Each structure stands twice: as C-alpha cells, then as structure tokens.
Structure 1
C-alpha cells in the first residue's frame, strides 16, 4: 500500500475531527527535518501563515521528469499537512503532478472542512508551488 493509500484508508477509519487532526500531527512528526541551510527564502512557500519550506529535487530527468519533494513547517498541524502533500506528489512524474487535484484528496480525507481559512490558503499555496515547479521542470526538460 502506498503512503497516500494508507493515509486515505486511515482517514476513512477516523470519524472524529479531533482524531483526524491528531493523526495529521503524528504524520508531521514522522517527516525528517530539513537541513538548516535548506530553510532559505527560495525554499519558503509564500502565502502560508506558518513558515513552510519545500525542496524540489529531480529524481529522474527527461521530458517528463520524476520529482521528489521534502519539506517541513514550524507549526505542528501544518507540518502534518506538508507530510500529506509530500505523499501525494513526491515520486511522481511532472505531468501527473500538474493533473493531480490535491484539494479533492484532502476533501476526501475529511480534512478541508476542519482547516482554518489561513491553513486552507497555505495548503493551496503549497499545492500551487509544487505544481508550478512541475510545470517549470517539464518545460526545461
């Protein structure tokens, strides 16, 4: 089972929003910290109330490269959202990343409705940043 499939399955099992948020926080605890030199202005996601950094790496070059993402946040819930975003996009081809409706997946997990407007905006900013990176790397391929 892929990490994303496991998250979807786990969220379907959790029917209480507090349990889901605890689960999101736990996911965030499992992602490794970025190195201090990776927490740069260039890696910082604009539009997030919390500090969020995303690092994009090309795992396989070509016309439709495979991209890998790493990230973190200084806020517990947002760090968990980063973990989910990474599970959705990391290891995928650029074309697949651009076509993925991550917000629909978050809705399917039952998480969107419980996010504050600031966190929801931050989530959209993370998704936009990753999809923009995918478009740029595909165009450069």
Structure 2
C-alpha cells in the first residue's frame, strides 16, 4: 500500500481532466515545499543523472525514512514533492518494496515527461532506494 499522501495525490489526479492541470498541480506541489538550506546543497546530496540541479537529503530516525529535496527547475521540484508523497515517513524496510514505476504510472507521469525528466526521476528514485538499503 502506498503512502496515504500519495493515495491522496492519485485521487487528486483523477479529478484533474487534462495533463496541463496535472502538470500545474505538480509544479504547485513543488512551490509549496520548504526550500533546502544552501548548506545542504553540496556534492554529497546532489543527484547525478538529472538534467537539472537536484539535491536530496535523506534522514532516517529509528526505522522511519524521510527526505527533503530541492531543484532549480520548477517541474523537477514538483517531482521531488511527488516522491515525498510516495516515500516520506515510510519504514526503511518498505522503501525497496515500493514499485515506483507502477505507482508513478498511476499518475500518468510516464506518458508525459520528457526522456531527460524520466531519467532524472529514475535517478532520484534510485538514490532514495540506495539510501534506504544502506540503512537496513
């Protein structure tokens, strides 16, 4: 079962009639995120494989995985917000079990992102999964 925040996002996407509205919603989600402090925008938190500048800062407390992120591109910032909805506050042991491609497919993202954006999204998912796996 996906994170309740992600299920809410899926429901929201079902009400949005066209991709333009969904795209705008993803951007608005990114705008609503708190910015990442400059001190956290360092090479260790930067995600390779993204056309835009992307930083992910994971945090594991006990068995709970959380993360924050930032990008210089509005749509990518929104995609980070989507990933937060999918992965944030999940048990570390569950992160690797989440089928990100299938879950994101429920939003129709696979059909509407450029190849570069799709590659960047995969790179972010991989970073999340690697971080959780190394903490297990």
Same fold by TM-score, threshold 0.5 exceeded? yes
Structure 2: runs of 5 or more not aligned: none
So what's the TM-score if we normalise by structure 2?
A: 0.95
Deviation at 1:95, TM superposition (A): 1.7
C-alpha distance in 1 between matches for 2:81 and 2:134: 23
Residues 34-113 of structure 1: matches in 2 within 5 Å?
34-60=36-62, 65-113=63-111
CA RMSD of aligned residues (A): 1.2
Structure 1: runs of 5 or more not aligned: none
Over 6 Å off, 4+ runs: none
For the pair 1:32 / 2:34, whether they are aligned, the reply is yes
C-alpha distance in 2 between matches for 1:80 and 1:34: 14
Deviation at 1:5, TM superposition (A): 1.7
C-alpha distance in 1 between matches for 2:64 and 2:130: 14
Count of equivalent residues: 134
Deviation at 1:72, TM superposition (A): 1.1
C-alpha distance in 1 between matches for 2:96 and 2:46: 20
Deviation at 1:42, TM superposition (A): 0.3
So what's the TM-score if we normalise by structure 1?
A: 0.91
Which secondary structure state, in structure 1, belongs to the residue aligned with residue 47 of structure 2? Answer: coil
Residues 15-30 of structure 1: matches in 2 within 5 Å?
15-30=17-32
Which secondary structure state, in structure 1, belongs to the residue aligned with residue 60 of structure 2? Answer: strand
C-alpha distance in 1 between matches for 2:60 and 2:128: 12
